[in-house]
Amino acid sequence: MSESESDPKDLAGQRSYEEIKKEFDTLDFGVRTEAEIITELHKDYMQTKDDKRKVQILVDLEYYVHQIDNGLNFLKMGGLRDIIIPGLNSSFEDFRLNCAYVFGNCVQNNIKAQIMAYETKIIEILVRLIATDTVEVKNKCLYGLSVLCLQFPIAQKKLVESGALSEFALIVSQRDPILSKLQKKIIVFLYDLVLEPELTKQNLQYYQNQNETDNVEMYSEKLRQYNVSNIKGQLLANNWCYVANTYLKRVYEESITIG
């Protein structure tokens, strides 16, 4: 057998394990962890003066922060303070649009990130943009607001205090086809908020019947928080029965006309 036909295993066996390991240790594969990538993106965003580059960084962040650990790390390194809140307050629409989406991806199903966000003015900012901005930004801000507040009753209390219910009513009451998608999302969001305490009651009753003390305590506390936020009562106080019924009637009439 010629040298070219030698078994690769035999050739590899001519070098010791330590020699091979040393060779691999000296190689730079350029592999970075996602935490390192997010850190670099944060740093680049803060340093660059190019708006287009900043938008691209936000698009990249949208991909990474939906992972729970990544989203939390991003907030811990100052993502809300340095990027999201300034971006939402920017006069540049692309910043507002993409920052709202980054925020939503960051806090979705991420309770630790939600708590960090709750402690800022983010709810008030998102409500203001939903009330005043373009329909594209409104939709992204509603996404961020909904994933922050769902299953988070103390955030729902702040949502009510921000005046969101009256702003939502103004949007849902408008006869504007451009707003139809947003209006539907608002109705679904509010319905989910009303449904949550009822589901919590059912879960509490189930665990009471099962004598599972830990779960009983957890759901009892959660139900207490829902009672404090009192979304259903606040909707009634803001005349939402009339608003919702008028909206549903209008949608039905429009569907008949189109049909």
How does pLDDT run across 194-210, given as a tens digit for each residue?
A: 999 999 999 999 999 99
| pLDDT above 90 coverage of the chain, percent | 83
Instruction: Give CA separation, 157 vs 77, 161, 228, in Å.
Output: 27, 6, 7
- Mean of the per-residue pLDDT values of the chain: 90
How does pLDDT run across 171-181, given as a tens digit for each residue?
A: 999 999 999 99
Comparing 255 with 232, the larger pLDDT belongs to: 232
How does pLDDT run across 125-157, given as a tens digit for each residue?
A: 999 999 999 999 999 999 999 999 999 999 999
Instruction: Give CA separation, 19 vs 11, 25, 60, in Å.
Output: 13, 10, 39
Class of 15-149 in CATH:
mainly alpha
Cα separation of 23 and 81, whole Å?
44
**Using CB atoms within 10 A of its CB, is residue 28 exposed (0-12), middle (13-18) or buried (19+)?**
exposed
One DSSP character per residue, 78-136 reads THIIIIIHHHHT-S-HHHHHHHHHHHHHHHTT-HHHHHHHHTTTHHHHHHHHHHHS-HH
How does pLDDT run across 232-249, given as a tens digit for each residue?
A: 999 999 999 999 999 999
Domain map (residue ranges) of the chain? 15-149, 153-259
pLDDT of residue 8: 44
